[in-house]
Amino acid sequence: MKNFRNFCIIAHIDHGKSTLADRLLQATHTLNEREFQNQVLDNMDLEREKGITIKSHAIQMEYVQDNETYILNLIDTPGHVDFSYEVSRAIAACEGALLIVDATQGIQAQTISNLYLALEHNLEIIPVINKIDMEAAMVEEVTDQIVELIGCKPEDIIPASAKTGIGVPEILEAIVSRVPAPAGDPAAPLQALIFDSVFNSFRGIIAYFKVTNGTLRQGDKVKFFNTGREYVADEIGVLKMKMVPRQEIKAGDVGYIISGIKTSSEVKVGDTITQVANSCSKAIAGFEDVKPMVFAGLYPVDSDDYEDLRSSLEKLQLNDASLTFEPESSLALGFGFRAGFLGLLHMEIIQERLYREFDMDVITTVPNVSYKVHTTKGDVVEVHNPSGLPAPTLIDFIEEPTIHAQVITKTEYLGAIMKLCIDKRGILRNQVFLSTDRVEVNFDMPLSEIVFDFYDKLKSISRGYASFDYYLNGYQQATLVKLDILLNGEPVDALSCLIHRDNAYDFGRKMCEKLKELIPRQQFDIAIQAAIGAKVIARETIKALRKDVTAKCYGGDISRKRKLLEKQKKGKKRMRQVGNVEVPQQAFLAVLKMG
Ligand code: GTP
């Protein structure tokens, strides 16, 4: 066990995590030269999507130093703000972390928030400045930032280039000399932490774990602590370039288990595996049942694709347990699903995967967060859908989820970003200068405020020089209303949303203006209204069309007239009928994107 080293890589997106990981695989001969070449070629085609480490989630390398062989387990952390819980579990499985900072970019929000998680778990941090081969590298400045941030000595920082290989031997040496060997007793009752899982169409769910205590043997009867379910460890092993079966995996090591599990919901990240016969007395601390926080309706653009959408979502759910969905129907959009996501970016990923992997074009309704409605009867109802809100007389009060948001930016954008966060009902917690021109600001904010257009606004006001991260931070009371959009008095359910009262007027007005642009004139006037209950808060009118489309044809040319009518009919197919008003599909899309 003294020769095990478990570590992860903390880096902001694009700072070089995958490239460096592949270099480590190459330097330890885990990946041979030919495979490395292939990988490099793959990278050219589809860059990030094929990073081996990203596909593997965890990988084991053997590294020889002074005739001593060390087993290095690299555990991947999802590089994505919505997955902070998963990151925390991956970090909990490690004793050390490489902190990679791009020499041309400096420290960014994601680096810091993951660093805090790593420090909370007492990980040994090895700071690395990457991309020193680049002309724009600001090695001294970034060194100062890192020293300031973690309080290390400048000589503790390893200058490196994942591209040319500079610094790679030093990084491997540092992993061995600085990261402590895992503690734990191989003879104790089994305690193994699940930090990730994947779905394999032949083998079912494969769970990845780190044994903190005890020894797991092939064929053992095991129990997953939090779900209470029991299985047989059909196959266990370690992860190299492929899965390598083993008879046993001891305390301190990282491995995989295949036990005939078919659904992803049975394997929860953070759960503890123990033996049925000699069960540990308590689970590894830190388990959380992560619940989706952002909800939206997903409707097929073509209503004939409803069943295909269901099967695509089912397939996505197999390897993404945090995605939930249930059937929902809308008068305007037909049959679809109400889906739950960890956050807005997770929602975008699912939308993108539906499109890319399943060729499914979907309409997403206005997303909303999950609210806790306290009724006058004393019950608490979770509301994910505008139509699920109880009648106003039954509502005592409503609570909304809040987040702790962290933004890192250049000082020149600080004022504009502060204003944005305050406009979004943020409360400033603190601000820390990381260097003379770089500042970290922390806000408490309602989650619902970042569900709309927060990212885009942040990006545009900072010209891209702001990085953002957040974690959930409890609930607070909120004054929430249901905003309806009516066309000639008919409510369009797909456009209803739950919104904070202070934002309702502005949002309602914008919706009406946008719809006015997008709905074509028809034979009669169309009133577009935004309303809270019976109270109309905004209104626009589309004037009736006076001209007959066929009028141009002078009544003479019958075939031309027919063609025109047919064209009009075809156009109608892409329209949705709301009461007597025809709404182009594209109007829904545009309005929902508006935020
Ligand atoms: P995500 O997978 O998006 O989180 O990014 P990542 O952190 O894994 O970064 P990745 O390894 O994909 O590198 C991002 C880009 O930087 C790629 O185009 C790499 O080729 C490039 N890159 C990585 N390391 C170096 C380096 O040391 N020098 C130079 N010049 N480029 C590098």
Q: CA dist 250 to 86, 226, 269, 278, 525, Å?
A: 23, 22, 20, 15, 75
Report the separation in Å between the CA atom of 130 and the middle of ligand 1, taken as the mean of its atom positions: 9
Any binding-site annotation on 132?
Answer: yes
**The two structure tokens encoding residue 490:** 């008919």
**The two structure tokens encoding residue 552:** 């141009």
Residue 50, pLDDT score: 36
- In CATH, what number does 191-275 get? 2.40.30.10
Choose one of 8, 9, 13, 18 to mutate for the ligand 1 pocket test, by most ligand atoms within 8 angstroms of C-beta: 18
**The two structure tokens encoding residue 83:** 């997955």
Q: Write down the domain spans for the chain.
A: 4-178, 191-275, 294-365, 372-478, 481-593
Report the separation in Å between the CA atom of 138 and the middle of ligand 1, taken as the mean of its atom positions: 16
Residue 416, pLDDT score: 93
Report the separation in Å between the CA atom of 137 and the middle of ligand 1, taken as the mean of its atom positions: 14
Choose one of 9, 12, 13, 14 to mutate for the ligand 1 pocket test, by most ligand atoms within 8 angstroms of C-beta: 14
Choose one of 13, 17, 19, 81 to mutate for the ligand 1 pocket test, by most ligand atoms within 8 angstroms of C-beta: 19
**Nearest atom in ligand 1 to 166's CA:** 27
Q: Mean pLDDT of successive 10-residue segments in the chain (595 residues)? A: 92 87 90 63 40 62 94 85 83 95 89 85 96 95 91 95 95 97 95 90 90 96 93 94 92 95 87 93 88 88 90 86 88 88 84 86 85 93 87 91 91 93 93 86 92 80 82 90 90 86 90 88 89 92 72 56 60 64 74 61
**Nearest atom in ligand 1 to 160's CA:** 27
The conformation of residue 359, written as its DSSP 8-state character, comes to: -
**Nearest atom in ligand 1 to 130's CA:** 27
Report the separation in Å between the CA atom of 18 and the middle of ligand 1, taken as the mean of its atom positions: 7
Contact criterion met (CB below 8 Å) for 246 and 255: yes
- In CATH, what number does 372-478 get? 3.30.70.240
Any binding-site annotation on 167?
Answer: no
In the block, which residue shows the tokens 């690395």? 128
| H or E stretch covering 112 | helix 109-120
Architecture of the structural domain at 4-178: 3-Layer(aba) Sandwich (3.40)
Residue 314 burial by Cβ neighbours in a 10 Å radius (0-12, 13-18, 19+) = exposed
Any binding-site annotation on 484?
Answer: no
Any binding-site annotation on 131?
Answer: yes
Residue 521, pLDDT score: 85
**Nearest atom in ligand 1 to 22's CA:** 11
Nearest CA to ligand 1 atom 29: 131
Any binding-site annotation on 18?
Answer: yes
Contact criterion met (CB below 8 Å) for 394 and 375: yes
**Nearest atom in ligand 1 to 134's CA:** 30
Contact criterion met (CB below 8 Å) for 309 and 300: yes
Nearest CA to ligand 1 atom 26: 131
Q: CA dist 531 to 162, 240, 262, 537, 585, Å?
A: 56, 59, 46, 5, 22
481-593: CATH topology = Alpha-Beta Plaits (3.30.70)
Minimal CA–CA distance to 475: which of 455, 450, 503, 447? 447
Report the separation in Å between the CA atom of 44 and the middle of ligand 1, taken as the mean of its atom positions: 12
CB under 6 Å to ligand 1: residues? 11, 13-19, 48, 51, 79, 130-131, 133-134, 161-163
Identical fold at 4-178 and 191-275?
Answer: no
| H or E stretch covering 530 | strand 526-532
294-365: CATH topology = Alpha-Beta Plaits (3.30.70)
Residue 315, pLDDT score: 86
Strand partners, 363: 299
**The two structure tokens encoding residue 176:** 């061995």
Residue 310 burial by Cβ neighbours in a 10 Å radius (0-12, 13-18, 19+) = middle
ipTM of this model? 0.97
